Structure formats: C-alpha cells, structure tokens
Amino acid sequence: MEKIIPVTKNQELEVEIIDLTNEGMGVARVDNFAIFIANALPGEIAEIRVVKVLKKFAFAIVLELKKESPDRVPAKKELLQTGIAPLQHLAYDKQLEFKQHQVEHVLKTIAKMPDVPVLETIGAKNPVAYRNKAALPVRRNEGKLEVGFFKKNSHDLVPMTDFYIQDPKIDEAAQVILGILERYNVKAYDEKNQVGFLRHLLIRRSDNTKQMMVVLVTNKDKFFKSAEIAETIVRELPEVVSVIQNVNPENTNVILGKVNHQLIGNGFYEDTLLGKTYHISAASFYQVNTPQAEILYQTAIDFADLKKSDVVIDAYCGIGTIALSLADKVDHVYGVEVVHDAIVDAKTNAAINDVDNVKFKAGLAEVVMPKWQEKNIHANVVVVDPPRKGLAESFIEATVKMNPERIIYISCNPATLARDLRLFADLGDYKVEKVQPVDVFPQTTHVETVVLMSRVDK
C-alpha cells in the first residue's frame, strides 16, 4: 500500500526545525515526512509554505519565524536566493561545529569508523571577503550591463555589486570593467536565445602581490577593439597585469572555453603561499582562500612528520602548490597530474622558486606511480588532494601496492573521503590517525579535511 504524503504544494503550516542538512537547509517533519526549508535553523518555530512535494520529502520556504534560534545572525536576502552563502545566517562558531559534525557523521556511517576522533574545525580569521576568484555571469538588465548570480535552480540573474564572500577589490573591479565595456558598447550574452557576446567576467586577485587577472569570456572569437578595451582596463585598474579573452561558443554551463587570446600581459598573475611564488593562469586550479589554504597545507605538512630523507609523491599535484611547499623538508618530491597545462605551470613554478628536487609528470597517477616503482622510486609518504569525486579505486590499489609509511589525504568532500578511507582500510593495512577539518569556504557548507593514515606494520 502506497504511503500517504501528509503535505501538499502551497500548504501553509507551522513547524519546528529539528536539524540541518549537509546543504545547510533546515529540517522539519510532519508525520515523519521530511520537509527541507532554506533559511531555517534548529530550534526555530516557523510558519512555512510548501513549494515542492516529492515522494519521500518536500521543500518549503519560511513565511514567518515565530521563534528564532539564538545562533541566528543577520543575513542578506539576495545571497540566500542565489545560494552563494547558504550558512550566512548561522553564527560563525556554529558553522565550524556544523562542519565538524559533517565529517564525524560520514566517518561513522560511510567509513564505519565511529571511534576516529575528528578535531575541531580550524576557522578563518576573516570569514567574509576572502575569495580570490570570481566568475560572474554578465547580462543586460534594464538597459545596462550587470553581473550577479543565478537564483537557485534557475538561470534568472540576481544583480549584485557586493558578493560578501569575495575580495572587495574584485567586486569594485567588476563594476569598473562593466563601465568600460558599456562605453565600448559590448553586448551581453543572451543565454535563452544564444545570441550576444560577453558571457562571463572572470577576475582573480592576490592580496599578497596586489596583482589581478581579468578574463573576458565571449561567445565569439572576433572582439571589436579588444586591444583598446584591454588597455583601458589596465589604465583604470593599475593592479591588472593580464587581460585575456576566452572564447566559449558552446551551449554549456562550463564557464571557460578552450581558446584563449592574450590581450595584455603574460597570461598569468602571481600569488605567494607559504613563502613560495606561483604563476597562476586563467584555467589553473588554485585555492580560492589563500590564508586558509596556507593553514590547510601546513596542517598536511605537520601531519606528514617529514624527514630530510623522505621521498614524497604528490598525486593530483596541480600547479605544484603542495609539492613545492614541502620540497625543502624532504629528499625528493614526485608530482603527477592528469591536466597537462597544470604540469607546465608546476614546472614553471619550480623554476621561479629555485626548487630542484621536484619532478613533475603529466598522466593518471594510478598509471604513472607503478612505472615510478618499476624504476625503483619508492615513496614513503603519499599526498593526495583529489577533486570532489574523490579517488578512483585503481588509484587506491596502486597506492597500497607502493606501501608508503604515511598517506596524507586532503579532501573537499566528506562523503567521498569517507568512502575512500574505508577502501584504504579494506585494501591495505592503514589506520586513520588524525582528522582535521579546515574551513576554507566560510558561510558555505563546504569543508576541507586533512587526514593522516599510517601503515600498520605486522
């Protein structure tokens, strides 16, 4: 017999919020049927309207808060609409607790490791205005160019000038650039009809070097007066050291296309991290919160307990930030990365920092590592920092065969981390020693985690 759903669309009712989801939505229950509610916190009593009903749960919006949580802080409506800062209404110390509990939960339920202690989340000194990168859709609204963010589950742009979690210098630069583009009559892209020209404005900035990169993502290759526009941007924004046109003619949610035209500069900007300097190009992966990235990587280095005789493999090495940060503490580092352009950047970064005990190789780590082993390269420490999807089982198998003494896992997704820790335990004799969450993305539900695994010698 099919279960009767106790709520209907557009129904209004009063509920108590009892929990938060991993996405930061409040949870209420009616006859044990879950309702997920944006901008609601545990302990609150809210009058809500149901906006969507599915077989196992429903979604609702808050009409009125009858009782507020003591952990609630003022929030900006447009940021809640777009999902840029889904935890901004939760006091920051409680955000850190929320992230610690996220990691604890998946270790118990997915990794089946209930006894592994999870340390308190390391918070940011400045939990706002931290992002060093902005990728902003550009649209024409009421006759003028504007940037903003899309409403959740839609492509309706919410115009914004203050993005709250971004470097304010980036927000200011975006408005200056829009003004310049207006003067040159640059047309905004119309996504619905797939016409127009300027799709996105991508800005990256280092607060350490005061250098900025501007990427104009266009729908077509031909860019009238592009050199003159680039010169005007640099003249009006002296921090800009590189202006690039990126061409993306595809009907896709992917922001950057494959073709870049360097309009001004060398195609990169510089930032410093843990005493090293990095050249960062338009498509390079680089942590968006530099101060917290330093804490994240230093935690990984501390967990690795490195000795001068150690040989380290940095899998998923990207542009070399982790490999170069620990190179002066060990005998040799081998970095592997599937993105060829990132390896080019990594080699450049090794050269500009005069680091000569690092070797970078393009390829799949699970393919490259066994070849290194055949050449009698034996790493006693392996560092992994994969994307959100986590590690391939073939990579875990290759790592276990290499039999390192210690494995440092830097994760941006607690669920795939827990899955992979379970596999490491099942496929090899590795014990999880320490788990340290680090808040690299304040005001959001994302959490980075550093884990130390040690080989259990029998």
- Reference 90, options 42, 141, 130, 149; nearest CA is 42
By C-alpha distance, which of 412, 223, 179, 404 is closest to 313?
404
Q: Which residues touch 185 (CB under 8 Å, ≥6 apart)?
A: none
How many residues does the structure list for the chain?
Answer: 458
Q: Phi first, then psi: what are they for 208, rounded to 5°? A: -75, -45
> Helix, strand, or coil here: 76?
coil
CB contact at 8 A, 450 and 303: yes
Per-residue burial over 377-400, b = 16 or more CB atoms within 10 Å of its CB, e = otherwise: eebbbbbbbbeeebbeeebbebbb
Q: How far apart are CA 421 and CA 408, in angstroms?
A: 11
Using the CB atoms, write b or e for 245-258: b if 16+ within 10 Å. Answer: bbbbeeeeeebbbe
Give the C-alpha separation, 199 to 248, whole Å: 8
How far from the centroid of its chain's Cα atoms is residue 47's Cα? Answer: 34
- Quick one: DSSP state of residue 186? P
Instruction: State the catalytic residue, choosing from 412, 421, 447, 452.
Output: 412
DSSP state of 203: E
* Residue 101 parent element (H or E): helix 92-109
Place of tokens 């955000």: 95
Contact assessment for residue 188 and residue 139, using Cβ atoms and an 8 Å cutoff = yes
Which residue is it, tokens 């290194």?
372
Q: Torsion angle of alpha carbons 148, 169, 298, 94, nearest 10°?
A: -50
Residue 376: count of CB within 10 angstroms of its CB: 6
Take residue 88 and report the two structure tokens written for it: 């901004």
* Helix H or strand E encompassing 23: none
For β-strands 19-20 and 26-30, DSSP reports them as antiparallel
Considering just the CA atoms, what is the radius of gyration of the chain in Å? 24
* C-alpha span between 147 and 138 (Å, rounded): 5
**Is 317 known to be catalytic?**
no
Helix axes 414-427, 92-109, angle to 10 degrees: 30
Which residues are tagged catalytic? 412
